[in-house]
Amino acid sequence: MSKPVFKTTSRKPTANFTVDVPTGEFVFREGDLGTEMYIVHEGRVEISKQAAGEDKVLAQLEKGDFFGEMAILEDLPRAASARALSDVRLLMINGSTFDQMLRTNPEIAVRMMRSLSRRLRETDVMLREALGRPGPGPIVEMPTPQAPRAAAARAAQRLHHDVSGMEFALADGPETTIGRRDPVTGIHPDVDLTAVDTQRSISRRHARIYRRGDKFFVAEEIGTMNGTFLNGNRLETGVPTEVSPGDEVRFGLVALRFRAG
């Protein structure tokens, strides 16, 4: 497959270690040397890798996502390419800044480990498919956003969006994941709030609601960007807080009402 030709424009550094990259330009290419990682501040970035002579898309990243961390963790060439899908503004982080971030905010390390684990699984699947060597079992597709709602229609507990009138049923099991779907990586939360999150303020793995007997608890996931609020009070990351019928739960900028019965 022939490689697309992109317009080359020099990257423009701005204040506070940010970098502006125009649409279509590569932030870096597979095999390049690098000593920085990046966090997406504005826009969208595509991560791709060469496999069996073709460019395979690994992920499409948005505001709050990070990439290029392997250049800091290991002194090796870039393992994939990063290209701007739109005009993007990136926060550039070098080794010393990264070390300071980990010392002051250990949650960053946890989020990074989760991301690395997911990317390793995705790359393994991609390479197996490219080489014609499927894994030990069939690849099970993640349910579409409609599937969890259909399966959970029997559940009386739900989140109501007053502005649109939409309702999101909780899963039948003891936990319900809340966030935004990612069609590239196949991540589909039990409650997908993409339709009501017009400003993309909700993280892909934003929060969970736990069912314990007759009680329910909401907890924010580690690495969430824009916070979770219960009746206007900011929740502490990772700490389950009881939620009762009628309570307002806000994920990012999206406010919903917890209802039961």
- The arithmetic mean of pLDDT across residues 48-77, rounded, is 82
HEC readout, 137-202: CCCCCCCCCHHHHHHCCCCCCEEECCCCCCEEECCCCCEEEEECCECCCCECCCEECHHHCCCCCC
- pLDDT over 70 (residue 208): yes
The SS3 assignment for 261 reads coil
Res 137 pLDDT > 90: no
Assigned fold of 146-259: Tumour Suppressor Smad4 (2.60.200)
How far apart, in Å, are the Cα atoms of 115 and each of 84, 110, 237? 20, 9, 18
Q: What is the predicted pLDDT for the residue at 183?
A: 63
Q: How far is CA 56 from CA 29, 49, 100, in A?
A: 13, 5, 34
CATH architecture of the domain covering 12-131: Sandwich (2.60)
Q: Which residues contact 207 (CB under 8 A, 6 or more apart)?
A: 177, 178, 179, 218, 219, 220, 221, 224, 228, 251
Q: Is the pLDDT of residue 71 over 60?
A: yes
User: Which residues lie across from 48 on neighbouring strands?
Assistant: 57, 81
- Over range 238-251, report the average pLDDT: 94
Question: Using 50, 70 and 90 to split pLDDT, how confident is the model at 89?
Answer: very high
For residue 132, the model assigns a pLDDT of 67
pLDDT-derived band at 232 (thresholds 50, 70, 90) equals very high
Contacts of 169 by beta carbon, 8 Å cutoff, 6+ apart: 149, 152, 153, 155, 157, 158, 191
pLDDT for res 2: 36
Residue 87 backbone phi and psi in degrees, to 5? -60, 125
Q: Give residue limits of the domains in the chain.
A: 12-131, 146-259
Q: What integer pLDDT is reported at residue 98 of this predicted model?
A: 76
Q: How does residue 160 score in pLDDT terms, banded at 50, 70 and 90?
A: very high
What does the pLDDT look like over 28-50, one tens digit per residue? 999 888 888 898 999 999 999 88
Backbone angles phi, psi at 124, to 5 degrees: -60, -45
Mean pLDDT of 77-83: 91
Identify the band that residue 135 occupies on the pLDDT scale cut at 50, 70 and 90: low
Average pLDDT, the chain: 79
pLDDT at position 96, please? 72
Please determine whether the domains at 12-131 and 146-259 fall in the same fold group of CATH.
Answer: no
Query: Which residues make Cβ contacts (< 8 Å) with residue 243, sequence separation at least 6?
Result: 209, 216, 217, 218, 230, 249, 258
First to last CA, the chain: 55
